Amino acid sequence: MPAADGKRKRQQKPVNLDTLGLEMGNRPPQALDVEEAVLGALLVEPNCVDEAMEELTPGCFYNEKHRMIFESMMHLVNSHVSVDPLTVSQQLKTDGNLEAIGGPVVLAQLSQKIGAAAHIEFYIKILKQKCIQRDLITAAYTILKDSYDESINVDQLIDTAQTKVFDAIQNNVKKDVQEIGSVITQAMSDIERLQDSTGLSGVPSGFPSLDKVTLGWQPSDLIILAARPSMGKTAFVLNVARNAAVDHHVPVAIFSLEMPAIQLCKRMMVSETGLSADKIKGGVRLEPYEWVQLEQKLKDLSRAPLYIDDTPSLPVMEFRSKAKRLVNQKGIKLIIVDYLQLMQGPNELKGLREQEVAAISRTLKATAKELNVPIIALSQLNRTAVNRQNSNGRPLLSDLRESGSIEQDADMVLFIHRPDYQNLSPDPSEAGKAQLIIAKHRNGEIGDINLMFRSSEVKFVDAEDTLLARAAMDDIGQGYVPVSDMSAAVGDIPAGGSSDFGPNNDFA
């Protein structure tokens, strides 16, 4: 059947490890005596069966006859039939494999492996190790062969290589069951370790009203932040990244698929210094005192543990590899992806957009769980979120674009809602007001967080803090003056406008 892109998929021939081993002068990793010991233990000791079925797969057995015997045992277990020499012999006969394995005499010989059951756990570990080695050899050989194929795109080659190595490892690694006592001890240690002066168990967002609900961004959570274009998604996560890295010295990684690193940096410089975007972008000459202001304000930001990767169209498996390396080398505690729909899914899903986005979403969640760090992924909304009538334009979970699995995989879904920007509120006093809607929260409350958006600083602030600050200023008889405009109070800025640029600028 033709592939989605109109090209016929290349058929990969299975790698013959015996032939490959001869070519390289080596035998494929194997332990035939251990395979026999495990099968013998399963034939005579029922207590060994459950553990073996949980830990092993047919691929863990190198010898084809041994593989057939284990497959027959799996069939019996799935059919709720006990495993013994007679039932296995009958199942092999039903499958047409009894003579292929050497007949009932082979089963009788295996069952004579006295003492094997006592060491079954150790034997299982050996078989899994040999299996991983064989899978890695197969993956490496396939990668080597594909690397010589000029018809294969390099990006596709890298994606395939990462996927094959990752699958070879993941398919053979299983976590043990844990007793509740040890889990509670671990949880208590985590709480003690994570709680600092902020009183939060997760990474602080820098927005007190939000942190009261979430207790910070929690490890292993996938957080989806969604809004229509130009609502301030990037501005919000840059504020979050800055607050964590600068104020709390939390290492943060940003994967920017839409915007170059230098543009992100200039946005953060506007927020940090209060200087106008035109001056930061270089279109307007800076005054001498503004150069001083720029250098002083950027000292903390330049020293912050903040890392940016601006690779466009980043394949999701490459993202996973980079994220793992950053966590191991830089101690990253928060990862931000801007944005999800710009990532590339598995090559075999090209042209199947909904399935591709679903695969990306699942990988993001799996990565968050594996690395034990929160991942905030930006996402677009469908246009129906804007055009919906009689709802003040508030987005819904059903508005998430291109895949319902995004909602399913996410631990938290946040929406940015700005009625003044969408011309849904004619009241001048509503200018700048924004709601961060917690539409889904797997481990906590849902509701609205009131924020203010300062377009001149490309910055969201907590509405509660803003009101307290203005009240304090009023008490001493002064108006609130933003850093970006030393000659005008906020009240002097026209409703819905900005002292520096309009809402449709490229910094919004």
Rounded CA gap, 359 and 9, in Å? 20
Looking from the CA of 412 toward its CB, the CA atoms found within 13 Å total 29
175 within some domain: no
Q: Could you give the strand order of the β-sheet that contains 306-309, starting from the edge strand earlier in sequence?
A: 306-309, 252-256, 334-338, 375-380, 222-227, 412-417, 433-441, 447-454, 459-462
* DSSP states of 331-393: ---EEEEE-GGGSB--GGGTT-HHHHHHHHHHHHHHHHHHHT--EEEEEEB-THHHH-SSSTT
Q: Are residues 471 and 399 in the same domain?
A: yes
503 within some domain: no
Q: Are residues 67 and 113 in the same domain?
A: yes
Interstrand relation of 375-380 and 412-417 (parallel, antiparallel or unpaired): unpaired
464 within some domain: yes
Q: How far is CA 342 from the centre of its chain?
A: 14
Q: Are residues 345 and 423 in the same domain?
A: yes
Q: Which residues pair with 459 in a beta bridge?
A: 454
Number of domains in the chain: 2
Q: Are residues 223 and 157 in the same domain?
A: no
Q: Which one of 71, 258, 290, 430 is the catalytic residue?
A: 258
391 within some domain: yes
Neighbours of 433 (CB within 10 A): 19
289 within some domain: yes
**pLDDT (tens place) for every residue of the chain, 508 residues total:** 444 443 334 445 556 665 655 455 578 899 999 999 999 999 988 888 888 888 888 989 999 999 999 999 999 988 888 999 999 999 999 999 999 999 999 999 998 876 667 788 899 999 999 998 988 888 888 888 888 988 887 877 877 787 777 777 765 555 566 677 777 777 777 666 655 555 778 899 989 889 899 889 999 999 999 888 778 888 899 999 999 998 889 999 999 988 888 888 888 888 877 776 666 766 567 677 777 777 777 788 888 898 999 888 888 888 888 888 899 889 999 999 988 888 888 777 777 778 888 888 888 998 999 899 999 999 888 766 556 544 567 888 877 766 678 888 889 999 988 877 766 555 666 677 888 899 899 988 888 888 888 876 778 888 876 555 444 444 444 443 333 333 333 333 333 333 232 333 344 4
Helix or strand holding residue 434 (H, E):
strand 433-441
Q: Are residues 160 and 215 in the same domain?
A: no
Rounded CA gap, 253 and 486, in Å? 34
Q: Are residues 166 and 233 in the same domain?
A: no
31 within some domain: yes
128 within some domain: yes
Q: Provide the CATH number for the domain around residue 161.
A: 1.10.860.10
Q: Are residues 165 and 22 in the same domain?
A: yes
Q: Are residues 159 and 214 in the same domain?
A: no
Q: Provide the CATH number for the domain around residue 443.
A: 3.40.50.300
Rounded CA gap, 460 and 140, in Å? 48
Q: Are residues 297 and 400 in the same domain?
A: yes
Q: Are residues 139 and 273 in the same domain?
A: no
Contact by Cβ (8 Å): 169, 132: yes
Range of the domain at 93: 17-170
Coil, strand or helix: which one is 494?
coil
Q: Are residues 140 and 220 in the same domain?
A: no
499 within some domain: no
Concerning whether 258 is annotated as a catalytic residue, the answer is yes
Where a domain ends, among 149, 170, 191? 170
The model's pTM: 0.62
Rounded CA gap, 111 and 44, in Å? 6
Q: Are residues 130 and 240 in the same domain?
A: no
